[in-house]
Structure 1
């Protein structure tokens, strides 16, 4: 069974009925904006014996999410046919990932952010060791993290911070010098719970 087939099967048929998924940045949904901007991110999984996931670190000059680790992606533009098209376009713009190199597995669970976005993660499989070129206006670094590390619930650290007078709970995943947290970590946690990855 190919990696695409394994992921697609896990995403559609292997999901746990009892999986508790994270739906948004805050359990107090009254803090979420009432009108959400649709967005999509690409979750690029490398097709190798030990698959990895390609992530980016935003530049420190970004007006939103400066310096944070993220999947390539962004808002869905009027010219995008669907979340898949938006995710592929954004990945090409941000890290020069050719659209034709991505084999789409499917869409994962949407996630709402406190900044007003409803994000659709799009899982795709890409060849290993592609030469990726970060767009210097948006991306400071591109790196790969082993898929089994990301999906291991033992690496999902739940923490909290006080925000607007309330404790905001979120997950973080530490990989070397990189701190993956917020919406990106939450989407990884959801994938872990949904896929029940077994290597």
Structure 2
């Protein structure tokens, strides 16, 4: 199985093609935010994520993709994603590969716009902010091959049943909106490669404990 920038770009062509099923979560007048989903294409292509510090007032100890709120100097939300990626993990010279579906956080206060980019293989990410505890790498083919199981929980929300995916890695759990974004990426890649993913392993308990599943 070979993942290339061209294949990822093909998988994301035309997206987003439908609104997120999480849109009912949005509060009136949600704020926009943007994240980059950086991919390093090497022998084992990986998506780069961050573990946020436990000292933060918000999102402490959570796994996320580099990103944040737009600043006045940002030309657009893609520029926001690139700026935040550089500020947080020191990656630049990114090649755009496509967008994923805008996804609300569970609280409904933000609508996250994800942008998938290829970053130079020779440049390793590094924490550039005290808000970041460490860098995490998500090996894409591990989930595509089935070496790592897809996991999730099913929750009832306002009369609807919602599937909430999550991914276990390096002693952490990627959950909430970030997990929905990564799950869509894996699903789109599998469709393009002609791979049938195994059904997710459903759990009865929330692996993130009593935290809000943002």
TM-score, shorter chain, exceeding 0.5: yes
Indicate the residue corresponding to 1:23 in structure 2: 21
**166-175 or 82-91, which deviates more:** 166-175
SS at match of 2:141: helix
Q: Could you tell me how far 1:167 is from its partner in structure 2? A: 8.4
Q: Could you tell me how far 1:73 is from its partner in structure 2? A: 0.5
Q: Could you tell me how far 1:190 is from its partner in structure 2? A: 1.5
Q: Could you tell me how far 1:128 is from its partner in structure 2? A: 2.4
Matched residue count: 188
Q: Could you tell me how far 1:163 is from its partner in structure 2? A: 8.7
Unaligned 5+ residue runs, structure 2?
196-214
The residue correspondences of 1:33-112 to structure 2 (distance < 5 A) are 33-97=27-91, 99-100=92-93, 102-112=94-104
Cα distance, 1:9–1:138 mapped onto 2, change above 3 Å: same
Which of 1 and 2 has higher RCO (CA within 8 Å, sep 6+)?
A: 1
SS at match of 2:56: coil
Runs of 4+ in 1 over 3 A off after TM superposition: 20-23, 150-154, 160-164, 166-169
Cα shift readout 1:157-197 (whole Å, capped 9, x = no counterpart): 12157899x98752211123121111111111122233325
* RMSD after superposition: 3.0
